[in-house]
């Protein structure tokens, strides 16, 4: 299926690893042009070189950026204006788990994750929207929310709350921007085999005296009817579909891609 994404310019935050990197690869496979940003400049440089070789293209750029800092986001867009010129698709993907208790988490931790999950998206959209529609008629913004925004995990209340706020921001922004022909949506992944999960499994499996494989199987069976984790590519392909004209009637929705892990309906 031709998704009509050739030469579309895509900006992906948190694009050097995990879901973000998978999304970048799927867009490149569709002959899109991709800008990825991440904090780790060394890893970012290596990833970009590998992507250029794998997809035989120079239309992939890496820009170091800490999305919790306004000045870093401004520098990112200065690069885009100078080197790329426009943006067609924005993927607000940067984020991380938190792990704390409500009673013990300091204000500083709340503020950090608020900046990472909510204000980063707000600031990225403010700067990105004026660059949309310059080369193609439609713009697309997809925010990575989480299953935890609607079905929280008890051990990371800050992550749950800030991702829920990002979900509401998505809905509000969708209503505001559709008159400019910009579609806004969210994706809520469930269990995905990312490097973060491998790191977690390595630590917790040792504590429980089981192997990593046994730990993954235990969590998957307890949390999902499908009884397995998703691959990064399974999740990434859905982002690319939503960004395409094949999903042109999708707007303002938070799509759960979670193997049935969401226990309720909405």
What is the C-alpha separation between 255 and 166, in angstroms, rounded? 13
pLDDT of residue 85: 93
Q: What is the Cα–Cα distance from 67 to 230, expressed in whole angstroms?
A: 26
Whether the Cβ atoms of residue 229 and residue 191 lie closer than 8 Å to each other: yes
Residue ranges and CATH numbers for the domains of the chain are 9-192+230-257 (3.40.50.720), 193-229 (no CATH)
For residue 206, what pLDDT is reported?
Answer: 87
193 and 224 Cβ atoms separated by less than 8 Å: no
Distances in Å between the alpha carbon of 6 and those of 1, 62, 239, 259? 13, 19, 15, 30
Q: Which residue, chain included where needed, has tokens 């806004």?
A: 184
Q: Which residues pair with 144 in a beta bridge?
A: 187
Please report the pLDDT score of residue 200 as a whole number.
79
Q: Within its chain, how far is the Cα of 206 from the centroid?
A: 29
* Sign for the pseudo-dihedral over CA of 31, 35, 36, 42: positive
Which of 252, 260, 237, 143 has its CA nearest to residue 190? 260
* Annotated catalytic residue within 113, 159, 169, 215: 159
User: What pLDDT is attached to residue 165?
Assistant: 98
pLDDT tens figures, 6-53: 999 999 999 999 999 999 999 999 999 999 999 999 999 999 999 999
Is residue 35 within 8 A of residue 61, CB to CB? The reply is: yes
pLDDT at site 264: 87
Whether 239 is a known active-site residue: answer no
- Across the strands, what pairs with 36? 12, 62
Tokens for 6, please give them. 């050739």
Tokens of 161: 């709350």
pLDDT for the residue 13: 98
Residues of the chain with confidence (pLDDT) below 50: none
Cβ-proximal residues to 54 (8 Å cutoff; 6+ apart), any chain: 25, 28
């Amino acid at each position: 299926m031709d998704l009509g994404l050739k030469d579309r310019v895509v900006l992906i935050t948190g694009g050097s690893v995990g879901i973000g990197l998978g999304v970048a690869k799927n867009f490149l496979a569709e002959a899109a042009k991709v800008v990825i940003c991440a904090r780790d400049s060394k890893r970012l440089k290596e990833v970009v070189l590998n992507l250029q070789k794998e997809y035989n293209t120079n239309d992939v750029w890496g820009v170091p950026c800490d999305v919790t800092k306004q000045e870093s986001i401004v520098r990112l867009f200065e690069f885009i204006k100078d080197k790329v010129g426009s943006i067609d698709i924005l993927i607000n993907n940067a984020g991380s788990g938190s792990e704390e208790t409500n009673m013990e988490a300091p204000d500083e931790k709340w503020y950090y994750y608020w900046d990472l999950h909510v204000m980063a998206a707000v600031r990225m959209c403010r700067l990105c929207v004026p660059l949309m529609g310059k080369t193609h008629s439609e713009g697309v913004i997809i925010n990575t929310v989480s299953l935890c925004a609607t079905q929280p995990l008890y051990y990371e209340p800050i992550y749950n709350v800030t991702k829920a706020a990002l979900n509401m921001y998505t809905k509000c922004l969708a209503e505001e921007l559709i008159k400019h022909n910009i579609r806004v949506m969210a994706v809520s992944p469930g269990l995905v085999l990312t490097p973060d999960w491998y790191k977690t499994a390595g630590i917790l499996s040792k504590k429980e005296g089981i192997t990593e494989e046994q730990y993954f199987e235990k969590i998957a069976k307890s949390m999902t009817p499908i009884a397995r984790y998703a691959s990064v590519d399974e999740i990434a392909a859905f982002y690319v579909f939503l960004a395409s004209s094949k999903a042109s009637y999708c707007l303002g929705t938070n799509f759960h891609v979670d193997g049935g892990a969401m226990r309720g309906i909405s």
